[in-house]
Amino acid sequence: MVPERRRPPEASSKSSCSMMSESPRNRKPDLPFAPFDSTNLWCGDRHGRSFLEFSPPLVTQSSGLFGPDRETKSKKQHEPSPVDDPVMDWNPRLMLSNLSFLEQKIHQVQDIVRSIISHEDQFLDQANELAAQQQLVTADLTYIIIQLISTAGTLLPDIKNALLSTNPAVGRPGSNQKQHEILPVEVAKASQYDSLVKDLNSCGGNEDELIKCSNNSGVDASEPIPIEDHDTKDNDDGMDGENLPPGSYEVLQLEEEEILAPHTHFCLICGKGFKRDANLRMHMRGHGDEYKSPAALAKPSKEASIEPQPLRRYSCPFVGCKRNKEHKKFQPLKTILCVKNHYKRSHCDKSYTCSRCRTKKFSIIADLKTHEKHCGRDKWICSCGTTFSRKDKLFGHVALFQGHAPAIPMDDAKVLVTSDKAQVSEASSGMPGNMGYNFSGNTSLDAQSPDIKGVDDGHGCFSPMTLDACNIWGLAEFPHSAYEVSESTFSFLATGSCSSIQRNGEN
Amino acid sequence: MKRAHQQHRHQPFDSILAALSVDLLIQILERVDDPRDRKAWRLVCRDFLRAEALHRRALRVLRLEALPGLLRRYAACLDLLDLSACPGLGDHALATALFAGAGSWLLKSVSLSRASGVGWRGLAALAAACPRLESVDLSHCVGVGDREAAALAAAEGLRMLRLDKCLRVTDVGLAKLAVGCPALENLSIKWCLEISDIGIELLAKKCRDLRVLDISYLKITNSSVKSISSLGKLEVLSMVGCSNIDDEGLQFLDNGSNSLRSIDVSRCDNVTASGLTSVIEGHICLQKLNVGDCFPELAPLFLSKLNGLKDSLTVLILDGFQVSASSLKIIGVNCKNLSEIGLSKCKWVTDEGISELAAGCVNLMSIDLTCCRMLTDKALMAIGEQNKKLVCLRLESCSLITDKGLEHIGTGCPNLEEIDLTDCPITDTAMKYLSRCWELMILKLGLCDKISSEGLVHIASNCQNLRELDLYRCIEVTDDGLAAIATGCSKLQKLNLCYCIQITDRGMKHLSCLEDLRDLELRGLHHVTSLGVTSIAIGCRRLTELDLKRCNLVDNVGLCALAQYTGNLRQINISYCPVSSMGLCKLLGTLKCLQDVKLVHLTHVPVEHLELALRAYGGQLKKLKLFIGLRDLLSPWLIQMLHARRCRIRWVDKPLVFSP
């Protein structure tokens, strides 16, 4: 395994997100398989009705928002594509209600902006007020963006799979290849998702911070106990038990792009990438008889390993990480696979959500699969949403964190939800119609009660709470477990300043 | 009070407040102690009532229907609310009542013991309405589970909580409480059988201020004791009947923190002397040690270690041990400050041993010698001579003691408040001696068949504070004796006259002047008729428990009188009485507080009418005793309904026999 071999020739691209997505292929438009670009999807004539009614207000709001919006729309067009994916059973009704809510939301922002315009003269005198209004608009827009992403987020795998099955060029090497493709494609999905968020970050100057913090709550907070995660996972990242003196080995540090590259072996003729060297050699046979000789098919590493190689260990490129060579207590990683797994687990977004519990997130698909084997058996739930298969683990977790408490099992929670609903709807009718300022409302709430914070963290910004709070309460088909719904009930009540019932939902 | 009443009548238009301000009224009220006088005060006029409302801090609600009105009047100042007599109290009623206070609640303590109708909604409303809540008693609410515990956990300031026999509370509920109420100081989870080591461990981690903890009868192991030992402020630890805990667990308690003041390891089968020795060594300030029924023999090492607790130890319970005279001597020498000793069912307790103990521990106030059958008058003599401060003496089944021994007690122990002489061969002379103890409150003379009315006259002549009198099967007692008791001991609250077969309606008539009487057992009194029961019903309005089993002459008239006058009646036994449908329907239809009803072998009541009567009952029945033959005759719908309303039916399998 020589580093040069692993490095794809296209990896020189600076932007990691573009590298992770399809740009390498774009550079070779003459290659046998079609470039995989979502732009041609945008240009397609299958503009959904919802898109038409949706985009104009956005355009009027901010041109910077158009990009992400278009992207999500393009994905929505593919919703009806006949993809039979049992895992991603998204709910069109839910999506519709989400969208109509967004529409409302946008109208609200429009109103605000209009009022700003109409009162422009007054604001000239009162700069403070104008700034406040501006902030309000910013917050609202950020909220809309995030909601939009969350709405579209559920669709991302769909579009990928749809492309796989509909685009013959991708599936060209045969049905066998298609299966090989699935994994990298899903990785790409995650990266595209990232790029979406990153694009958002850069789209509006003063919005940056807001988005970042919302991202934090959404993505990072999805792992409420990162410490624990690392502790358990790093075990198989290698090096535990190995106690090499520093200097007795050669330290190699791969760059982020290399680590995150879906493929490490590339065909020199057609550019197709592979995860394994053996797969590449199998592929090469198709390019001519010269690749079919036993010598060409033999494992090349054997001869290479005859020479005595210095002991090689790897460093994580993330500065500050314990696995980074700059760290005081540096602990090297044993193999490249360890590097990959470590980097993804510790420093990447967890974009694979378990379709069953919808709470656990992973950055490595194998982890997700391992989890899915056990998911559903976790009957021990913490108020923060973390689930455990064993009671003592839950209690250990509860003991560790301030304000966390075990949740009462689900069947009871359902009862609670139904009974609380009546109260909630009563309360909500008394609320002002304009629910636009959830952002600030929720954050101030967090500050008040640490208890509640844990709960919110579990959801992140994609939680239904923000939607719930806006009178879309009839949404029984929200894609969340009964348990989560009960939490949202609670968070809603809290915003409604029904402090007396605040804790009910938490139960 | 009466004078005040008259005064008010004479000047109906002048407010009393013109002469006496509310402050002064309250100051006067503070000097009125007797609840009966307080009641008279309330009845004087509205201003007096208002002053009383401002002064009142504690409220015990006897009837549910009065709750809203009471709370409206007393909401502002109440500290303590006792709802334990309202089993029919539901979530809705509680929530409504609490909202009557309109957020002005200062309640600190709420007792919902046995109020099994309250669920999590009610508790959530309680926690929300009373921000200052510090103490909640949910004991014996068997339906209380995790959800209720979670609702209660919203009361952050909770310091005291009793969950005895809340059978459905699991580790999860306990964890909710531990997280929600970190200030808990006093917690009882006795009989919460679902709780395990894991829950206890979390409790010990979260509630660092725990001082009093009762984990009796839990299925917990040594690891729980280990986590409990980390509680630095723990003073009282009760772990009765934890058979999974052994010496190894007790050794965890020996961890250098000296906070423990009281430990109860009685009925822990696997605890031996060595474990206890480690506890004693670790806690030199231990005041109370209960090791009853643990292991049979007192090891010498253990006894000698008691020397380490010389100054502090005040209570030592050694029930069921083999305690020789030498052991008692060592205890007498080592524990000079002992104020209470329990030697119930101990073997080898002799006069000699008791003499040594009495000589050593002169401050003893309570001595339990139940079933120490070898004791004679000599032991009583020693106690009477040495333990002048004696308050409580239990001599049940000490069959060798005689009147002479009690003479020493009567002369030597003027402070005696409680004495148990059940099944002792004593006569009226002993009563004469005991009547010198004028502070006597509890007197148990069950099975003392030589006691006659004469003895009761002696008691009545001097013991005005008597609260409880047990005359079970004192067959010589007649109406005259009751007449004496009724006049002499007007504060009597509990009276057992079962099988005192000479008693007639005349005796009942005498008893009817006992206004405080709450618990009356009249089992097997063949001469008592409905007339007697009627006079009781009219006179003893506070009656809550009444046993009329096998009173062969009590019929509908008696029941109708009970229905009309004893509105607070909670338990009644009319098994074998010749009552008919009308009386039963009247009784069950009128009384609202009944919780426990025994209706075995009511031969004059047809099944249909029994069913009708049971359906007519409007309150919350908790226990019902019926003949097993009715199980198939009563409609399953009724039985289902009773079960649904949390009523437990006990089916009695005894054949109908008319005993003499």
Predicted local distance difference test score (pLDDT) of residue A89: 55
pLDDT classification of B174: cutoffs 50, 70, 90: very high
| Phi, psi for A306 (deg, rounded to 5) | -65, -40
Which is more confidently placed, B39 or A456? Answer: B39
Instruction: Indicate yes or no: CB of B151 within 8 angstroms of CB of A391.
Output: no
- Counting residues of chain A whose pLDDT is more than 90, the rounded percentage is 1
A188 CA: distance to closest CA in chain B (Å): 42
Predicted local distance difference test score (pLDDT) of residue A210: 40
- Please give the Cα distance from B497 to B478 (Å, whole number): 10
Q: How far apart are the first and last CA of chain A?
A: 54
pLDDT classification of A35: cutoffs 50, 70, 90: very low
Asked if A404 reaches chain B (Cβ–Cβ under 8 Å), the answer is yes
Asked if A500 reaches chain B (Cβ–Cβ under 8 Å), the answer is yes
| Phi, psi for A434 (deg, rounded to 5) | -85, 110
Q: Which residues are within 8 A (CB) of B453 and not within 5 positions of it... i.e. 6 or more apart?
A: B476, B477, B478, B479, B480, B481, B482, B484
Chain A residues within an 8 Å CB radius of B199 = 395
pLDDT digit string, tens, across residues A97-121 = 888 888 888 888 888 888 878 776 6
Q: How many whole angstroms from its chain centre is CA B252?
A: 34
| Buried/exposed B458-472: b ≥16 CB within 10 Å, e otherwise | bbbbbbebbbbbbbb
Q: Does A237 score more than 50 pLDDT?
A: no
Chain B residues within an 8 Å CB radius of A392 = 198
Predicted local distance difference test score (pLDDT) of residue A338: 87
Chain A residues within an 8 Å CB radius of B227 = none
Chain A residues within an 8 Å CB radius of B180 = 405, 503
| pTM of the full structure | 0.62
Instruction: Indicate yes or no: CB of B175 within 8 angstroms of CB of A398.
Output: yes
Instruction: Indicate yes or no: CB of A398 within 8 angstroms of CB of B179.
Output: yes
Chain B residues within an 8 Å CB radius of A388 = none
- Please give the Cα distance from B245 to B216 (Å, whole number): 11
- Residue of B154, B198, B199 lying closest to A503 (CB–CB): B154
Smallest CA-to-CA distance from B621 within B600, B642, B639 is with B642
Highest mean pLDDT of the ranges A221-235, A269-283, B173-187: B173-187
- Residue of B120, B154, B202 lying closest to A398 (CB–CB): B202
- Identify whether the C-beta of residue B513 lies closer than 8 Å to the C-beta of residue B539: yes
- The contact set of B with A (CB < 8 A) is 120, 124-125, 127-129, 146-147, 150-151, 153-154, 171-172, 175-176, 179-180, 198-199, 201-202, 205-206
Which is more confidently placed, B270 or A28? Answer: B270
| Mean confidence (pLDDT) of chain A | 59
Instruction: Indicate yes or no: CB of B172 within 8 angstroms of CB of A406.
Output: yes
Residue A299 gets which letter from DSSP? Answer: -
> DSSP per residue over B605-651, as a string?
S-HHHHHHHHHH--S---EEEEEGGGTTTS-HHHHHHHHHTTPEEEE
Q: Which residues are within 8 A (CB) of B388 and not within 5 positions of it... i.e. 6 or more apart?
A: B362, B412, B413, B414, B415
- Counting residues of chain B whose pLDDT is more than 90, the rounded percentage is 67
Predicted local distance difference test score (pLDDT) of residue A498: 37
Chain A residues within an 8 Å CB radius of B179 = 398, 403-405
Best B99, B176, B201, B223 residue to mutate vs chain A (most A CBs within 10 Å): B176
Predicted local distance difference test score (pLDDT) of residue A304: 52
Torsion of CA B464, B467, B470, B475, to 10 degrees: 40
Alpha-carbon Rg for chain B in angstroms: 27
- Identify whether the C-beta of residue B195 lies closer than 8 Å to the C-beta of residue B220: yes
- Residue of B125, B128, B150 lying closest to A507 (CB–CB): B150
Smallest CA-to-CA distance from B585 within B621, B610, B554 is with B610
Instruction: Indicate yes or no: CB of B176 within 8 angstroms of CB of A500.
Output: no
| Encoded tokens for B477 | 């007692």
pLDDT digit string, tens, across residues B193-234 = 999 999 999 999 999 999 999 999 999 999 999 999 999 999
- Residue of B147, B171, B205 lying closest to A412 (CB–CB): B147
Which is more confidently placed, B178 or B620? Answer: B178
Q: Does A503 score more than 50 pLDDT?
A: no
B183 CA: distance to closest CA in chain A (Å): 14
| Mean confidence (pLDDT) of chain B | 90
Residue with tokens 């009309």: B564
B198 CA: distance to closest CA in chain A (Å): 6
pLDDT digit string, tens, across residues B244-279 = 999 999 999 887 778 899 999 999 999 988 888 888
Range scoring the smallest mean pLDDT among A95-109, A129-143, B501-515: A129-143
Q: Does A190 score more than 70 pLDDT?
A: no
B60 DSSP β-pair partners: B82
Residue with tokens 């009065």: B66
Predicted local distance difference test score (pLDDT) of residue A306: 57
- Residue of B146, B153, B202 lying closest to A395 (CB–CB): B202
- Residue of B129, B179, B205 lying closest to A405 (CB–CB): B179
ipTM of the complex: 0.83
Chain A residues within an 8 Å CB radius of B153 = 405, 503
Please list the alpha-helical segments (H only) found in B238-299: 247-253, 273-282
- Identify whether the C-beta of residue B111 lies closer than 8 Å to the C-beta of residue B83: yes
- Identify whether the C-beta of residue B328 lies closer than 8 Å to the C-beta of residue B356: yes
Overall average pLDDT of the B479-493 stretch? 94
Q: Does B464 score more than 50 pLDDT?
A: yes
pLDDT digit string, tens, across residues A55-87 = 334 333 433 434 444 444 444 444 444 444 444
Predicted local distance difference test score (pLDDT) of residue A125: 58
Range scoring the smallest mean pLDDT among A418-422, B117-121, B307-311, B392-396: A418-422
Overall average pLDDT of the B433-457 stretch? 94
pLDDT digit string, tens, across residues B530-564 = 999 999 999 999 999 999 999 999 999 999 999 99
Predicted local distance difference test score (pLDDT) of residue B103: 62
Chain B residues within an 8 Å CB radius of A395 = 171, 175, 198-199, 201-202
Predicted local distance difference test score (pLDDT) of residue A276: 81
Chain B residues within an 8 Å CB radius of A506 = 150
Instruction: Indicate yes or no: CB of B147 within 8 angstroms of CB of A406.
Output: no
Q: Does A187 score more than 60 pLDDT?
A: no
Q: Does A176 score more than 60 pLDDT?
A: no
Which is more confidently placed, B138 or A385? Answer: B138
pLDDT classification of B317: cutoffs 50, 70, 90: very high
The one-letter code for the residue type at B181 is C
Give me the half-sphere count of Cα atoms (radius 13 Å) on the Cβ side of residue B618.
9
